[in-house]
Structure 1
Amino acid sequence: MTVDSAPEVQVASGRLRGRMDQGVAAFLGIPYAAPPFGARRLRPPEPPARWEGERDAAEYGPTCPKDEGDPLFPEVVIPGEECLNLNVWTPDPGASGLPVLVWIHGGMFMKGSGSVAGYRGTSFARDGIVCVTINYRLGAEGFLYLADGTANLGLLDQIAALEWVQGNIAAFGGDPGRVTVAGQSAGAMSVVTLMAMPRARGLFRQAVIQSGAAAQTLTGETAAHVASRLAESLGVAPTREALSEVPVERLTRAASALLKEFQTAADPSKWDVLPFAPVVDGDLLPDHPLDALRKGAGGGVRLLAGWNRDDTRIGLVPTGMIDIVDERILSVMVGANGGPDGTVERYRAARPGASTGDLLAAVTTDCLMRVPVIRVAEARVEAGEADTWMYRFDHESPRFAGRLGAAHAVELPYVFDLLDEESSRALIGDEPPQVVADTAHGTWVRFVTDGDPGWPRYDLADRSTALIDDGITVVDDPDGAEREVWADRR
């Protein structure tokens, strides 16, 4: 296969003709499940149909119905019903035994797709890894819960994609026994949930979670209330049959409106709840993921877990909210998130001169991102799982006069080593340092390839954590005093 040739592979459903992408072979828009519309709408995924002849896999396929994007996270919208598709980049379809990375995108379970330009797998393929990115159903289409025996359709989509990888990735040079599943934000929440699900057992050997864990998992009661509220807003009965008759665009808009209602609720206790998310339904997901991990779920899966030092500044700095936070708002938010008496004083003592907005960013980052990730690691230690590594991404973005910091998603262009991607400029600036990409991307490559990122495993004695910037600095229990504030926070 020359650089100018169109690569071809044979998968279970038929033959694919891809294209070359920066020196690696790319096969895009491959259906892993049948279109989830018509009689299949709001139902578990079904196998894709076979095709005759050669299928063109040179362009991304349709995206799943979703919420709108924003300037920092531009959305890709591709119309069409065959939206349960995935993309594969490989250094050599003729190879064998290559490690595989399956990427699950984030976006609050409301946005995103596997065809976002910043998720191109070219750099991973360049470094010897078969990279797969997937679509899955979002919002009400993927996470509506009606207590009728069908739940977590978006997770079932992810499992169907992983099953497709098991059956087909060898055609691209990948080893189905060397699969790492990774995700960021809602994608990371998905990964932790998959680790806890009996149905996903054996589909991957390793996992990476970035800025997301298990804290957003919904109870059946909460999820059923969301469904009832959604149906009420649409003027239909809260049944699968009635809601499946609602036009897709209308259901998507109603789900988006419900998300905004939660985000702007007068009751601040709702501010950290996503209305559409994995549901503990007692069947597909029998237990809360943390409880399942403590019982040994995910046993034998090596885990690389991390968060960004300033994760929640992504919602505070671009909006200007960080400058209107006063002592009252700070106190209310700390209380709503379960911070005990003395929390603000503890954080203020560690940050002399910090504004109230800066303190809120530090508190909410720990409460909503850092501590949930640590809880996953602790649950695994409790179950006797030793193969967990922890990191924190510390590189600061120069955007918004340098105030954005190491905010949510700032790490992604560095992890994917796609610093030339124009759509990332609004998030990381015009001159992102390659050395940070060498460090972050290199860390993931080592883990996916060798199963060890290169620093000590996480335990409860030392809590070794790698701080990632233009190099790696390993410290024990960074900001441990603040971590202890949240001892009672799940």
Structure 2
Amino acid sequence: MVALPGLFVPLLLLLCALPLGATPVPQASPAGTRRQYAIAELLSFLCSIKPLNFLLCGGNFQGLGNGTVTISTPVGDATGSADSSAAARFAVRYATATRWQESVMATKWEFPNGATDPSALPLACPQTQNDLVTTGQSEDCLSMILYVPAAAAVSKVPAMMWIHGGSFVIGSATNPGLDGAALAEATGSIIAVVQYRLGALGFLSPGGQSNLAVKDMINALQFLQRVLPSFNGDTSKVTIAGQSSGATMVRALLATPSASGLFRSASIHSDPMNYGFLSPGTFQTLNNFLKTQLSCDSSDSACLNNISTDDIVGISTNVFNTATSLDASAGAAMPMRPVTDGSLITSPLDITANFPRQSKTIIVSTVEHEAGPTIYSIFTDSLPEAAFASVCNASLGPDRTSKIVNSQHYAIPASDSTSDVDARVQLETVGTDQVWRCPSWTFARAFAAAGGKVYVGKYVVGVTYPDNEDIAFCKDGGICHEDDIQVVFGTASSPTREQKSLATQIQARLKSFLASGTPNTRGYQSWSTVSGSNVNALVLGGSGGSADVGACDPSFWGQEVPYDYQLFGN
């Protein structure tokens, strides 16, 4: 027995007296006859062109062998599988690409990687082996998974395209926690989880082309625009969202004028904005190094195409590890990333240049302990207070370290004695402020000042992501980088009451945001937009309220203490 969502119950009660597909028997009352024919017409309409038609037309939703759905689209028939009692899953190749060339949007509906089974998942893009990718890898990886909710069977619904993180070198649409079925059901929206070329295959090229992966995402958005109407998706209500490097990709799309008409709003989760986009000069330095690692001339396409994928992944890893010694502005965390090339990405979208006029509405969020995984995996034992300045100096240099060490923002509480202090606490706070929280707030102020509408949030409740399970700090109460993912998607296996409550809140806010452009909804604290220097950051989880500004005051980070993108320039 299929558990039907409440949305369908009134309709099905009306239909229960009618054999599905049968012609209704006219009754004596003309009004009753018209009503029965109207119901039958509606049923026929839903069965013929809507997704999830098996909910109303006798299909077996639970058995994947029989529970398939076929939808006619402008690029051919799309066949999907039953993913849950309220969503269907459609995996599709949205584009194809020759190695180190721009991708081309798909013109026909095809399963990823030549699969024939509608339930097959896409293979990940080439990357180093890691615990998050379990589906295998292929260069034929420009795929997405569409999660279509039951709500789309009866009304037009919004859509959200989620871009995974992983420092632009790992990750996929099948990462843990990214099953979009629960999110699709809760928000009544189509959720598209996408993947793109990674590392040297997506961000460098022997021919000198940059931003190949950004162009992959533009193709994904164009593909969505073409097929969404077939799933009753509203092409005027598309939101792009992503976490970590996926959030950086969202910001790159915000900086790409040619992509602007493909989406209405954006949600940026834990973007390491401190690094900024790559400058053309830094890109050229890294790209020249790439070419020295290849056994082919950059113009010999036959030779380049014959290099094994494994060898390219090895070369990409070498570029990643060598980048900061070639150019310090590349940064150690994600040196291969979008480039402000002046043609596709026309602005750095930071405070080093005039901020272009904005009209979109965005959400910008971080988690409480973004730097927790970095600090507590490097320093597994507590550190004496004397280590605070030395570690800062090694990372930030003497000028910035001096201002940080002497700032009250990172001072030891007066109630603590120096001998009791674990410097890792201060280092984690500095790291979170420098790389994530404060540059995100600086960006939010600039975006709002340029005409956009911005909601800023800070997660103080999370679900420990698999990456963080071996880090005691994260597992024992720290809300670490990535710990918001399973809250957003509602995919925690055994959530606590607090985690479940926050997931319900976030999905309710997203439902409102995707549909109407505001994350405010009945039953939850009002979320104010950025106004002037006041970001009005909402605490997400716990008792709510507003987050303290602290070191993210515009007079400190970004002014007295520069971000990396200011220090190195773009």
Fold shared, TM-score > 0.5 on shorter chain: yes
Cα distance between partner residues in 1 of 2:555 and 2:130? 33
Return the offset for 1:296: 2.9
Mapped pair 1:48 → 2:115: no
Letter in 2 for 1:459: S
Q: Which moved more, 1:466-475 or 1:120-129?
A: 466-475
Aligned to 1:383: 450
CA displacement, residues 123-153 of structure 1 (integer Å, 9 cap, x when unaligned): 12112111000111110110005574x3211
Mapped pair 1:228 → 2:288: yes
Letter in 2 for 1:124: L
Cα distance between partner residues in 1 of 2:517 and 2:399? 36
Alignment of 1:313-392 (within 5 A): 313-321=372-380, 323=382, 326-327=387-388, 329-333=390-394, 335-336=396-397, 339=400, 341-346=402-407, 347-349=409-411, 351=413, 353=416, 354-385=421-452, 387-392=453-458
| 1:444 to 1:338, Cα distance in 2 relative to 1, 3 A | farther
Aligned to 2:257: 198
Aligned to 2:492: 419
CA displacement, residues 383-433 of structure 1 (integer Å, 9 cap, x when unaligned): 122x10101111266764445511100111111111118xxxxxxx99983
1:146/1:240 contact within 8 Å kept: no
Aligned to 1:157: 216
Aligned to 2:556: 484
1:205/1:300 contact within 8 Å kept: no
Cα distance between partner residues in 2 of 1:249 and 1:446? 44
Mapped pair 1:9 → 2:71: yes
Q: Which moved more, 1:46-55 or 1:376-385?
A: 46-55
| 1:324 to 1:147, Cα distance in 2 relative to 1, 3 A | farther
Q: Which moved more, 1:44-53 or 1:274-283?
A: 44-53
2:442/2:554 contact within 8 Å kept: no
Cα distance between partner residues in 1 of 2:110 and 2:168? 34
Give the TM-score of the pair, scaled to structure 2: 0.75
| Partner secondary structure for residue 341 of structure 1 | helix
CA displacement, residues 285-335 of structure 1 (integer Å, 9 cap, x when unaligned): 2332336995435x3211000111210111222344564682453231453
Aligned to 2:51: none
1:388/1:457 contact within 8 Å kept: yes
Aligned to 1:425: none
Cα distance between partner residues in 2 of 1:450 and 1:65? 38
Return the offset for 1:55: 6.4
1:106/1:186 contact within 8 Å kept: yes
1:246 pairs, out of 291, 307, 314, with: 307
| 1:390 to 1:66, Cα distance in 2 relative to 1, 3 A | same
1:143/1:277 contact within 8 Å kept: yes
Letter in 2 for 1:420: S
Q: Which moved more, 1:3-12 or 1:170-179?
A: 3-12
| Partner secondary structure for residue 225 of structure 1 | helix
1:194/1:200 contact within 8 Å kept: yes
Return the offset for 1:15: 0.9
1:301 pairs, out of 357, 360, 363, with: 360
Q: Which moved more, 1:473-482 or 1:18-27?
A: 473-482
| 1:403 to 1:133, Cα distance in 2 relative to 1, 3 A | closer
| Partner secondary structure for residue 166 of structure 1 | helix
Alignment of 1:11-50 (within 5 A): 11-34=73-96, 36=97, 40-50=98-108
Alignment of 1:398-437 (within 5 A): 400-402=471-473, 405-420=478-493, 433-437=499-503
Cα distance between partner residues in 1 of 2:462 and 2:229? 39
Q: How many residues align?
A: 472
| Partner secondary structure for residue 201 of structure 1 | helix
Letter in 1 for 2:504: D
Cα distance between partner residues in 2 of 1:430 and 1:235? 53
Letter in 2 for 1:44: E
Cα distance between partner residues in 1 of 2:472 and 2:219? 44
Cα distance between partner residues in 1 of 2:352 and 2:256? 8
Give the TM-score of the pair, scaled to structure 1: 0.86
Return the offset for 1:13: 2.2
Return the offset for 1:209: 0.4
Aligned to 1:280: 340
Cα distance between partner residues in 2 of 1:23 and 1:324? 51
Aligned to 2:133: 75
CA displacement, residues 413-456 of structure 1 (integer Å, 9 cap, x when unaligned): 111111118xxxxxxx9998322322333333332233212311
Aligned to 1:310: 369
Percent identity, please.
Answer: 22
Q: Which moved more, 1:110-119 or 1:79-88?
A: 79-88
1:138 pairs, out of 198, 212, 223, with: 198
Unmatched segments (≥5 aa) in structure 1: 422-428
Cα distance between partner residues in 1 of 2:291 and 2:231? 44
CA displacement, residues 138-171 of structure 1 (integer Å, 9 cap, x when unaligned): 10110005574x3211000000000111111122
Letter in 2 for 1:20: A
Return the offset for 1:266: 11
Cα distance between partner residues in 2 of 1:468 and 1:440? 8
- Is the radius of gyration larger for structure 1 or structure 2? 2
CA displacement, residues 228-272 of structure 1 (integer Å, 9 cap, x when unaligned): 222223444456846444322211111113223347x69987654
2:247/2:269 contact within 8 Å kept: yes
Cα distance between partner residues in 2 of 1:392 and 1:172? 34
Cα distance between partner residues in 1 of 2:110 and 2:91? 16
Letter in 2 for 1:9: I
2:91/2:143 contact within 8 Å kept: yes
| 1:208 to 1:51, Cα distance in 2 relative to 1, 3 A | closer
Unmatched segments (≥5 aa) in structure 2: 1-53, 56-60, 521-526
Aligned to 2:40: none
Letter in 1 for 2:544: I
Aligned to 2:516: 450
| Partner secondary structure for residue 279 of structure 1 | coil
| Partner secondary structure for residue 107 of structure 1 | coil
Q: Which moved more, 1:239-248 or 1:187-196?
A: 239-248
Aligned to 2:43: none
2:463/2:492 contact within 8 Å kept: no
Cα distance between partner residues in 1 of 2:488 and 2:538? 15
1:123 pairs, out of 163, 182, 194, with: 182
